[in-house]
Chains A and B, each alone.
Chain A
Amino acid sequence: MESAEDQTTQFEKPGDSLAPDAREDARLLAMVAEGDQRALAAFYHRRSRLIYSLLVRMLVNEMEAQEALQDTFMQIWRRAREYDSERAAPVGWIVMIARGLGLDRLRARSRRTAGHAAYEREVASLEVEVNGARQTERDELAAACASALNNMPEPQGRALQLAFLRGWTHEEIACAIGEPLGTVKARIRRGLQALRKTLRDYHA
């Protein structure tokens, strides 16, 4: 495990879209790795809203999202020593932990059938969640990211969200919409890159 200072210097890379927040995240994560409960509290204070919002979006159930949020931060508490700043920014690392736990819960609900009807249902549920959001907060960065997602071509935005938020594979999406696998792969990859650009432009 690297020291907090060693880790934070690694976020001074040019063009790193998460650099402004990454330094403080990394410092706290390093302290959490050393068993500092106050650092965990501070890290929760900084990142719980992002993770909770993601989990609500994935699970469309606030109670389950709260349980998954708890599980996420317990994983962070236990696995902070495993964090490698060479491989991911701190926020990327915890987003992936939360997403993995969210997907576990989605899979535990029922066996998914990846047909066209299921695709339509999932797309509809994504729309409902967006419009039915409660207890919201104003956040310029969130608004910029949401705007970038909404401005994508519809098939690209849907494929990206189904893959990331619902855990659909590229093949399942391609099969459901009757398009070539390569097209779906390219849409998803380019969608992620476009969103990353939004993040970078915002911090620039």
Chain B
Amino acid sequence: MPDLYSPEDEATLYVLGELSDSERREFEARLRQSPELRSLVRELEEGAVALSMASTRRRPPAEVWMRIEQEVAGRTRRKVFIPASWTGWWRNGWAAAAVCLAGLLYVLLAHRPGSSDAFSSQVAPAISSQSRTSPAPIPQDGARNMAPPGNAESNAALQLLQSRLQENTALRWQIAELTNQMTHLSQAFTQQQGLLSESSRLKFFQLGSPSGSNGTTAPVSPALQRALVLAMARELGWAPTSSEAGGKEGTREWPTNAASSSATNHASVDFVDLRQSSNSLPAFTGQPQTELAQTGEQEPSPVASASTNVVPGFVSGTNAVLAFDSSVVPTGSSLSFLTATSSGQFQSLGATVLGRNPLVVTIPLGSPTWAGGNITVIAGTPNGSTNVLGQFPVPGTISP
């Protein structure tokens, strides 16, 4: 070390790590002998700590501690499970056999009936309360509970093993819980499928106009909602049907072309049942949309109000129920219900006219003649234009 360095300079160079190895050894020898020099070094080191503290404070990502934890665990594990005295054994293959045997014993013991639950009940609170990414301060008396320094490594290894066993148990719990949830979901799904296939269950749908392809539909009007609720009540037997109502309900001449269909009014909702006329339907041949269009004006005006609204309905058993009001088609519009037979011909299921009240039409689906085909609903407005309100498939075995 050059003679021009004062003890202060030497101490500074020592703290900053600028001394060579031999200079450092020589300085440290003097350091041990001189309290003043130690005090000076300590003072400068504290200045270096203050300089470190002047750096903008940052929190390291949690992954860093996880890596340290893993590395510490790895070192401890290597030290404990592969001690130097085992290396000869290892070469001969006996160690491998012993480790396999130990593993087998552990698996057998850990999976004994009852052992898992007992162990889990002890370790679960520890797992849930221990944060791996933000280590908690240890208790003040922790030092007194530690093993002697000679057993420190094996003690740490035992702690590590215990923590791994705890993790294993927690993971087994999670797997079991997820399996249970999956089973419940599967059962619920099966139940829902079963409910849908029940013929007595109501299945709701909406008929959209093929011309309304812009994807926007108006909400079902309150009057239609009320009509649907009444229709459901009738289907479920909660409200009297036309045959049961007797004199309580108003029955009037209804402008339908199905002579034997019934038409009633219940709570200001008109009900038309096409079921009674379904077996004596006149044959309807040709293309319904074209022919109906030709019956009106040469250049029919579009039905703007009907193009964006949908016709709500539901299927109950072998019947389809549809509800109409002036939000769907103008009052006074004629409604025709057609079906295609398996031979490709069209048949009329019936027709009716929308009055001032909301209208509920019940359509039979049970005829094998048109099973598997589609039912088409066509509206003819008072101004002569026609519009296809929608189609819905008839359940059956014949492919459309």
Q: Point out the residue from A5, A30, A145, A169 that lies within 8 Å of B54, measured CB to CB.
A: A145
CA distance A34 to B143 in the complex (A): 9
Assess the A194–B156 pair: CB atoms within 8 A: no
CB contacts under 8 Å to A, within B133-168, are: 134-138, 142-143, 146-147, 149, 152-153, 155-156, 159-160
Tell whether A196 pairs with B50 under 8 Å between CB atoms, given A88-B42, A142-B56: yes
CA distance A17 to B55 in the complex (A): 18
CA distance A78 to B122 in the complex (A): 32
Assess the B68–A74 pair: CB atoms within 8 A: yes
Assess the B143–A4 pair: CB atoms within 8 A: yes
Assess the A73–B47 pair: CB atoms within 8 A: no
1/0 per residue, CB under 8 A from B, across A72-101: the answer is 011001000000001111011001100110
Interface-forming stretch among B8-16, B204-212, B380-388?
A: B8-16
Tell whether A50 pairs with B52 under 8 Å between CB atoms, given A137-B59, A192-B47: yes
Does B72 reach chain A (CB closer than 8 Å)? yes
Does B127 reach chain A (CB closer than 8 Å)? no
What is the CB-to-nearest-CB distance from A120 to chain B, in angstroms, rounded to a whole number? 21
CB contacts under 8 Å to B, within A40-79, are: 40-42, 44-45, 48-54, 56-57, 65-66, 69-70, 73-74, 77
CA distance A96 to B54 in the complex (A): 15
What's the tally of chain B residues with a CB closer than 8 Å to chain A? 58
Assess the B54–A142 pair: CB atoms within 8 A: yes
Assess the B156–A95 pair: CB atoms within 8 A: no
CA distance A86 to B32 in the complex (A): 9
The secondary structure that dominates the A interface is: helix
Assess the B54–A146 pair: CB atoms within 8 A: yes
CB contacts under 8 Å to B, within A94-147, are: 95-96, 99-100, 103, 129-130, 133-139, 141-142, 145-146
Assess the A87–B58 pair: CB atoms within 8 A: no
Assess the A192–B142 pair: CB atoms within 8 A: no
CB contacts under 8 Å to A, within B22-59, are: 31, 38, 41-59
CA distance A148 to B46 in the complex (A): 14
Q: Point out the residue from B63, B72, B152 that lies within 8 Å of A40, measured CB to CB.
A: B72
Assess the B54–A95 pair: CB atoms within 8 A: no
CA distance A198 to B358 in the complex (A): 87
Q: Point out the residue from A27, A95, A191, A192 that lies within 8 Å of B143, measured CB to CB.
A: A27
Mark A residues whose CB is within 8 Å of B.
1, 4-5, 17-18, 27-28, 30-31, 33-42, 44-45, 48-54, 56-57, 65-66, 69-70, 73-74, 77, 86-89, 91-92, 95-96, 99-100, 103, 129-130, 133-139, 141-142, 145-146, 148-149, 160-161, 163-165, 167, 169-170, 185, 188-189, 191-196, 198-200
User: What are 25 inter-chain pairs, A to B, with CB distance below 8 A?
Assistant: A31-B138, A31-B142, A36-B138, A37-B73, A37-B76, A39-B138, A40-B68, A45-B136, A49-B57, A53-B55, A53-B57, A54-B52, A69-B60, A99-B52, A136-B56, A136-B58, A137-B59, A139-B53, A142-B53, A142-B54, A146-B55, A170-B18, A188-B16, A189-B8, A196-B44
Mark B residues whose CB is within 8 Å of A.
8-9, 12-13, 15-18, 31, 38, 41-61, 63-65, 67-69, 71-73, 75-76, 134-138, 142-143, 146-147, 149, 152-153, 155-156, 159-160
